[in-house]
Amino acid sequence: MVNLELHNQTVRIDAGELVGYEVGGHEYIHQKGSPGWRNSDTEMFPVIGPTNEANFRVTTPKGTAVQDQHGLLREMEYELVSQTKGKVVFSKKYVSGTQIKNSKFPVKSTEEYLSWPYSFEFKKSYEILEKGLKVQFRITGEEGMPFMLGYHPAFKLHSENVTIQTGERTISLQEVLDVGSRALPILECKSITLLDNGELNIKTEGFGNFMLWTEVSNMLCIEPISFYPYAVNQEELHTGFLKLDKLEKIFSVMIQPNI
């Protein structure tokens, strides 16, 4: 477990996963074991969304890749790269063609192993700042590698009157619940405000979109995404790829409570 502290802010990270962000005694992160989801955060890479209707196959310029829902990155373990009082960096490295064991097999998937035809390194960092918590992702790999990226944090809800605000639009928690597993898209959007007991602002760089998901009233996933996967048939998922057209792509999420 890694702890970062600054004034009244405390961040708890377990093997690269954000398991706690407490400010002045108020916990913002969904706690494992509570109803809703067995995790508190994860990443969706190199694809977002389900692939079962496409026989778990995704088209790439280097041929077909075997991918389960939300990609193979989540099946890999983070390694600690560096740690200071206010910042910690984790990394996952993948060599093209390596078979990764699929935890959803055989109960929820027919594919025992997943693979990707490109090598990459995926770095995730947490930095505690005066104004909040910065989560950053740095992707390096083969030039031209296609990919999608989604960040999937779950926030703990404390009140019965939760709303989500973006621009001039106000979204109720019930609207998110009604959409179900497909998640509610918020397209062409870089910032969202969660109105619960106080305000929590989530500002992003690089993603461009969000989707909102929950199946319970005590938790809400506010997910920055590069592409909303339900906009296309699963066989056409590759149409939503970004391209690694330089040495490194950087994406960031700023979680800012009213401190």
Domains of the chain: 2-257 (2.70.98.10)
Mean pLDDT over residues 105-125, rounded?
97
Query: 68 pLDDT exceeds 80?
Result: yes
Give the model confidence (pLDDT) of 227-250 as tens digits: 999 999 999 999 999 999 878 999
Question: What is the rounded average pLDDT of the residues 49-63?
Answer: 96
- State the average pLDDT over residues 126-139: 98
Cβ distance 60 to 71 under 8 Å?
A: no
Report the range of poorest mean pLDDT among 35-39, 125-129, 243-247: 243-247
pLDDT at residue 259 above 70?
no
Q: Which helix (H) or strand (E) holds 99?
A: none
- Residue 110 pLDDT more than 90? yes
User: For residue 162, what pLDDT is reported?
Assistant: 96
Q: Distance (Å, rounded) from C-alpha 173 to C-alpha 163?
A: 6
Query: What integer pLDDT is reported at residue 234 of this predicted model?
Result: 96
Contact 214, 182 (CB under 8 A): no
Please tell me whether residue 149 adopts helix, strand or coil conformation: coil
**What's the CA dihedral at 154, 249, 201, 195 to 10 degrees?**
-40
Whole-number mean pLDDT of the chain? 96
> 76 vs 2, 193, 251, CA distance in Å?
19, 31, 20
Residue 92 reports pLDDT greater than 90: yes
27-50 average pLDDT score: 96
DSSP states along 168-234: TEEEEHHHHHHHGGG-EEE-S-SEEEEEESEEEEEEEES--EEEEE-SSSSEEEEEEES--GGGS-G
pLDDT at 80: 98
**pLDDT tens, 165-199?**
998 899 999 999 999 989 999 999 999 999 998 89
Tokens 């929950």 correspond to 214
pLDDT tens string 199-229: 999 999 999 999 999 999 999 999 999 999 9
Please give the average per-residue pLDDT across 149-158, as a whole number.
Answer: 98
